[in-house]
Amino acid sequence: MKIYFIFVFLFITFTYQESIDTDKMLMIYFTITGNTELFANYINEKIPMETYKITPVTAYPDNENDMLPIAQNEQNNNLRPEIKDPLTDISDYDIILIGYPLWYSHIPNILITQLEKLNFTGKKVYPFNTHGSSGIGSTVNDIKQYATGADVKDGFAISRSVIRNNKESAVTQINEWIEKNFGNISINSSEFNKIEYINLVLITFILNLIL
């Protein structure tokens, strides 16, 4: 009997995975056409977290043909479009998800405006983006450049056609990405799970001594 409880103790110890406290997660995203917002919403359905949407002072055209020359001009001239009520403090968060559309293989300049206002030291950053056909482009390197001090993870890209027209495929990819990067998600309750684990270990240890 004593051997059995030793086995249980070891099993609990080696199979326990610390869950992630979603109170410490923040999503920052920028969208114009709504594709990246849809992407962000799909992620939030799986992992509810605090969300901040970047809103420009001067709105971009909804029509892509009108918007792209503006985006290219911002990149060519290294502009910093102004943001309404930008974030200034992310000290309460450990994990930051950053979402954006791919613009000429780079992140939108308005995202740079936001990144440069924040201290990313010690933060884990997970980029995700929508695109027409170019995948991640150079956006991960862009974020590494402007999110100074962050541990920037691999990018996650889904085409806008899949996001817009094939929710099942999009959600499947998102679930796989979440499982790969975050594993055991516990919504706002990691402290509870830690206590639960400690209690199990203590109970097993005491029973092992008694029996």
What is the model's pLDDT at position 202? 59
What is the model's pLDDT at position 149? 96
pLDDT digits (tens, 9 = 90+) for 133-145: 899 999 999 999 9
* Cβ-proximal residues to 6 (8 Å cutoff; 6+ apart), any chain: 208
∠ CA 85-95-120 to the nearest 5 degrees? Answer: 60
What is the model's pLDDT at position 183? 83
What is d(CA 82, CA 61) in angstroms, rounded to the nearest whole number?
15
pTM for the model stands at 0.80
Q: Are 50 and 25 in contact (CB under 8 A)?
A: yes
What is d(CA 191, CA 83) in angstroms, rounded to the nearest whole number?
36
CA separation (Å) from 121 to 118, 132, 152, 170? 9, 32, 11, 31
Stretches where the chain sits below pLDDT 50 are 3, 5-18, 188-197, 200
What is the model's pLDDT at position 19? 62
pLDDT digits (tens, 9 = 90+) for 27-42: 999 999 999 999 999 9
